[in-house]
């Protein structure tokens, strides 16, 4: 089961997140999501564990306080494929070639 965890402290590490969920069963993986440029936590992460253990962890940790923050814990949903984002007003970076000066 893949579990989404929001409301994490910005100082939490992958090991801290794993330790938090270890109480509920064997954790296959625990990953805090970080910003690519600053490498700072974005305040959420994902944990993988067995279904029965995961359900219990979600039930007990959702709304719980950890490190001074209230956690929001739920089953992770698959990422939706959204519209692709472009810079420069969706013109592919070439500007408006039809514009008359």
pTM of the model: 0.77
pLDDT computed for residue 79 by the predictor: 77
Q: What is the pLDDT along the chain (101 residues), one digit of tens a residue?
A: 999 999 999 999 999 999 999 999 999 999 999 999 998 999 999 999 999 999 999 999 999 999 999 999 999 998 777 655 555 555 555 555 555 65
Nearest to 31 by CA among 51, 4, 50: 4
Domain ranges of the chain: 2-75
pLDDT the model gives residue 34: 94
Assigned CATH for 2-75 = 3.30.70.330
Interatomic CA distance for residues 66 and 14, integer angstroms: 15
Q: Tokens in use for 96?
A: 């408006």
């Amino acid at each position: 089961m893949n579990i989404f965890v929001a409301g994490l402290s910005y100082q939490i590490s992958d090991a801290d997140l794993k330790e938090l969920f270890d109480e509920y069963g064997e954790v296959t993986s625990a990953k805090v999501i970080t910003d690519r440029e600053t490498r700072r936590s974005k305040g959420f992460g994902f944990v993988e564990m067995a279904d029965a253990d995961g359900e219990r962890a979600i039930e007990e940790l959702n709304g719980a306080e950890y490190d001074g923050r209230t956690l929001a814990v739920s089953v992770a949903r698959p990422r939706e494929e959204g519209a692709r984002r472009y810079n420069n007003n969706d013109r592919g970076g070439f500007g408006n070639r039809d514009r008359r000066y």
